[in-house]
Amino acid sequence: MSDPASTEAERVGRSSPVSRGEPSEAVARAARERSEQEREPRSAVISAGCREAADVGAAVLASGGNAVDAAIAASAVQCVRELPWCGLGGDGFALISGSDGCVEALNGAGAVPRALATTPIPGGTLPRYGPLSISVPGLVDAWWRLWERHGTQSFASLVEPAAALADDGFALDTAFTRALDRVRHATGPDDPFVAEFCDGNGSAIGEGFRLPALARTLREIGADGRSVFYEGRLARAVVDTLDRLGGLISAEDLLEHSSDFEAPLTVRYGSAEVSVTPPVSMGWVLLQLLLLYDRLEGRLIDDEADRIDLMVRCKHAAFADLGLMSRWQEAADVVPVLNGDSVERWCSRISEQRRSQPAPVAASVAPAAATGTDTTCLSVVDDQGLMVTFIHSLFNEFGSRVVVPGTGIVLNDRLAKQPARVGQSPEPPRFRRPLHTLVGYHVAQRGRRLVGATPGGRGQVQTNFQVLRAIIDDDASPQAAVDTPRWLSGTPRLPDSEDLLFLEPGFPDGLDAELARRGHTVADETPADADLFGSCTIVGCCTQPTGSVAAADHRRGAALALVEDPDDSGRPRARKEIP
């Protein structure tokens, strides 16, 4: 097999971020190749991490809004319905693909506070929770930048469904209830978190949960836009709260924050062009996995144990480079990792390991693995072929657990357990952003385009790797690829690349023994680990035949909602929920 890595590195080099989000050359070329095909009407569809978000997104599409309008509205709903895992105090990333196939990325990550560079941190490591774990929130600005660039409906109208849900409330489900129980036990009855979210609300599955303060905040943002959050009343409330608690974010930190439109990183894998969100997203790790697997001729492997063995070894190689990430802030910084020489070196090591790896005695282990629930995402395509995938997070469950009283805002813990030197850079804010596991991807292959994402911490790139391999190599439908059992190497968030290999139920009998024979320490999934394997949302459109495709993951209750093709009057038909 020819070595594609050198040419792919050239593509990555040409795809370095630009201020106005110019598309990568590879994706633009693929778009031009499709431009002569006549576009016909297609259904609009949204896949989202919860049913309420999918329904609101579909309602926006049915009212004439485009995919970006729907994504903003749906992600705002997620900030209510999936409060433990995302919110106004978090960050977000997006990949947007126009009807012509040109792709741009939005980096909505916030920076490390400037004051951290001069603040002594005991032990040299930032705490897991609390005011010192908080970076500048980027989500609200990300919504605003997306809306300014692509939105067609009023910003207030897009935020209103989320405000209405917060006002009216919803019934607690199992995951939300368990998350509340954990934070209540960790913070104690007198913590401001309990007063903000628990007092007056239900605490058991099926009971009602209302967020009137968050509803007011959402409407304020809808009316006044990003300025109220970064310059106005809400900015002052954030700074005052953190000043009182010993936090470091200042009014200047909020004022100078801005999301960036950038070009994606793009490589060729097999017959497909794969684009990802660039640094500080870990999207480059996904590309490295694909390049290694392709160079090692993984696409020709039929035996499942051999295939998983190779994929896991590729994962270990890619994760070994993560230690360099603290100084990688732009796409050009990761080119050496994706170029031909680097790929070839890792491939030689992996090949030698596979030849010489002894077969260890399989260990019986029952690890307390970290859950992978602390992110959510959505993907949407409209009837014009505009697509967006949006992924956002507080980082860990309920973020820093610091609330801004009277606002319903929970602040992120993006700096949790980071070394204090993460804030030492004197550079502008865009160069002081910490590493994010959040990844969005775009695939262009033989007349179809797809966008997608998944939660799962450091497991995100592994889930995406498996799903994309099935879609591209096996020509699987997105839903079939999502439904296929998955593996996970190591726990999702720990800084070390662990050797433990989790297997979901559904793999063939004896696979665990075959993988153990190849040197892996295998652990079967337990109920406590059930959310380690992500929750994919994927949408796409095809030109041959014309139509839309979508997938929603059963693992964490992701949902699809469809808006049918316009009728003779040009108005979309009624939206449909898809079980």
45-169+210-263+368-562 domain in CATH 3.60.20.40? Answer: yes
The span from the CA of 219 to the CA of 115, in Å, is: 31
Confidence of residue 241 (pLDDT cuts 50, 70, 90): very high
Q: What is the mean pLDDT of the chain?
A: 85
Q: CB neighbours of 25 closer than 8 A, spacing ≥ 6?
A: 11, 14, 15
What confidence score (pLDDT) does residue 543 get? 72
Upper half-sphere CA count for residue 326 (Cβ side, 13 Å):
12
pLDDT mean over 340-363: 75
Residue 340 pLDDT > 70: yes
The one-letter code for the residue type at 152 is T
- In the chain, the N- to C-terminal Cα span, in Å, equals 43
Greater model confidence, 368 or 391: 391
Question: What are the φ/ψ torsions at residue 492 (nearest 5 degrees)?
Answer: -65, -30
Helices 5-14 and 340-356 cross at an angle (nearest 10°) of 140
Confidence of residue 325 (pLDDT cuts 50, 70, 90): low
What would the pLDDT profile of 496-550 be if each residue is shown by its tens digit? 446 789 999 999 999 999 999 998 989 866 555 567 889 999 999 987 566 899 9
Residue 4 pLDDT > 80: no
Residue 336 pLDDT > 90: no
Upper half-sphere CA count for residue 306 (Cβ side, 13 Å):
10
Residue 5 pLDDT > 50: no
Instruction: Catalogue the E-assigned strands of 49-139.
Output: 91-97, 103-108
Distances (CA, A) of 353 to 314, 317, 348, 358: 11, 11, 9, 9
The span from the CA of 80 to the CA of 219, in Å, is: 13
Instruction: Catalogue the E-assigned strands of 278-406.
Output: 376-381, 387-393, 403-404
What would the pLDDT profile of 98-131 be if each residue is shown by its tens digit? 988 899 999 999 999 999 989 999 999 999 999 9
What confidence score (pLDDT) does residue 1 get? 35
374-392 burial, b at 16+ Cβ within 10 Å, e below that, comes to bbbbbbbbbbebbbbbbbb
Confidence of residue 57 (pLDDT cuts 50, 70, 90): very high
